[in-house]
């Protein structure tokens, strides 16, 4: 992604704490899916169950980071939509194609071996929609199992295509970020009400079934958070204290299983306060190389964990002669997590980064590498 020249009183170019935050969010989604696989008698964590809402934080984080990276060029009139779209394709597609291709091979091999996958969720239509990242654009009550987590990429892609409209609204309200935040929150309330009438669910439950409605207001809220943070200046102790309070507030809401929409709302101050650490030079261990690398590889972890889980359960059930809905032991889950982390790191280094560079060189000439804080 293009670099940003920091202003004297604005954010620095690299928001390393937000990069590290992505690692926590991705691990939360992984643990949510893992908790569904273990025997309920072993216990249940409300925090892990609510970690599925990390996707909403990702959506807000996307709006925040893209406002940070592209806001200056949009304000200066030098923004290139073509370059922006190429950068977004370079960000999403190398890893998306690798994971989707792996799932396709897995399904073909399984069917050749006589192992049946649900034909209702592994359809040709679903594959094409997933390939084009449009599977979350339409009503779909059944859902697709082709690269399941990629529904959120579909929603992200939709928001990317609309980015000039988002940026124009943000520029109009540049000096009034509270108004922009109100507009995003109002949009969330209205869309949530409409989604509830249409499908009988709250908006944070939208995934394959028109998940684009979920990102529409949250992307704007992320841009509003950037506008607020860009104007504020906190001393280091205040920034650290605010970060701790916001994070604990979110975890408490998750632990007490509060309404999904309230949990999503409490994720917004977490993003804002973590970003303020960068302005106050208070990132501390969140800026450590391992934390930052984990955030950079979080996209790969997010995408690959569910296909690997499905593959393991399919193979294990065949070898043991049992149904694939079996409960996994803690040892199995721990081993699978280690393998998944290793696979994510390999995909990030061997597919995502070189693929991103190749696409940019091919279509835009020599561009700088994507920034660490770029959303997934």
Per-residue model confidence as pLDDT tens digits over 19-64: 999 999 999 999 999 999 999 998 999 999 999 999 999 999 999 9
Rounded mean pLDDT, 89-108: 96
What confidence tier does 368 reach under pLDDT thresholds 50, 70, 90? very low
**Burial of 167 (C-beta count, 10 Å sphere; 0-12/13-18/19+):** buried
Question: Mean of the per-residue pLDDT values for the chain?
Answer: 92
Report residue 349 CA to chain centroid gap.
19
Q: Is 103 helix (H, G, I), strand (E, B) or coil?
A: helix
Strands (E), 34-93: none
Closest by CA to 146, choosing from 115, 94, 101, is 101
Res 156 pLDDT > 90: yes
- Structure tokens that stand for 374 in this block: 């770029």
Rounded mean pLDDT, 89-94: 97
Per-residue pLDDT at 365:
61
Per-residue pLDDT at 375:
40
In angstroms, the CA 238 to CA 275 distance is 13
Per-residue pLDDT at 149:
95
**Which residues are within 8 A (CB) of 168 and not within 5 positions of it... i.e. 6 or more apart?**
none
pTM, to two decimals: 0.94
- Structure tokens that stand for 259 in this block: 């309404």
Per-residue pLDDT at 376:
40
Half-sphere exposure of residue 85: CA atoms within 13 angstroms, side-chain side = 7
Per-residue pLDDT at 121:
85
For the segment 126-148, what is each residue's pLDDT rounded down to a tens digit?
999 999 999 999 999 888 889 99
Q: How many residues does the chain have?
A: 376
Per-residue pLDDT at 142:
84
For the segment 56-75, what is each residue's pLDDT rounded down to a tens digit?
999 999 999 999 999 999 99
For the segment 318-341, what is each residue's pLDDT rounded down to a tens digit?
889 998 899 999 999 999 999 999
| Residue percentage of the chain with pLDDT more than 90 | 84
Per-residue pLDDT at 112:
85
DSSP 190-204: HHHHHHHHHHSS-GG
């Amino acid at each position: 992604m293009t670099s940003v020249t920091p202003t004297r009183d604005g954010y620095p170019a690299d928001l390393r704490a937000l990069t590290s935050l992505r690692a926590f969010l991705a691990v939360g989604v992984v643990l949510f899916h893992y908790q569904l696989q273990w025997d309920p008698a072993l216990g249940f964590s409300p925090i892990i169950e609510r970690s599925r809402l990390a996707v909403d934080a990702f959506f807000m984080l996307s709006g925040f980071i893209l406002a940070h990276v592209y806001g200056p060029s949009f304000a200066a009139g030098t923004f290139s939509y073509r370059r922006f779209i190429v950068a977004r394709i370079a960000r999403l597609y190398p890893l998306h194609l690798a994971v989707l291709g792996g799932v396709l091979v897995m399904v073909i091999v399984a069917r050749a071996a006589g192992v049946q996958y649900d034909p209702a969720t592994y359809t040709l239509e679903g594959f094409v929609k997933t390939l084009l990242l449009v599977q979350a654009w339409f009503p779909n009550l059944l859902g697709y199992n082709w690269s399941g987590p990629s529904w959120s990429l579909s929603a992200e892609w939709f928001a990317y295509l609309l980015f000039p409209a988002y940026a124009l609204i943000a520029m109009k309200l540049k000096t009034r970020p509270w108004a922009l935040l109100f507009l995003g929150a109002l949009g969330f309330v209205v869309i949530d009400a409409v989604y509830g009438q249409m499908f009988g669910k709250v908006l944070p439950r939208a995934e394959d079934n028109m998940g684009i409605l979920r990102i529409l207001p949250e992307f704007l809220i992320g841009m509003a958070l950037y506008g607020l943070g860009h104007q504020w200046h906190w001393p280091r102790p205040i920034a650290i204290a605010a970060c701790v309070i916001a994070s604990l507030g979110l975890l408490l809401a998750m632990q007490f299983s509060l309404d999904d929409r309230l949990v999503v709302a409490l994720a917004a101050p977490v993003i804002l306060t973590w970003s303020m650490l960068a302005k106050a030079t208070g990132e501390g261990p969140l800026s450590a190389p391992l934390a930052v690398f984990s955030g950079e590889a979080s996209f790969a972890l997010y995408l690959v964990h569910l296909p690997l889980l499905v593959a393991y359960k399919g193979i294990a059930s065949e070898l043991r002669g049992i149904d694939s809905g079996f409960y996994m032991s803690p040892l199995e889950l721990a081993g699978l997590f280690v393998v998944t982390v290793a696979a994510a790191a390999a995909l990030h280094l061997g597919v995502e980064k070189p693929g991103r560079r190749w696409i940019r060189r091919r279509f835009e000439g020599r561009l700088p590498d994507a920034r660490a804080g770029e959303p997934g």
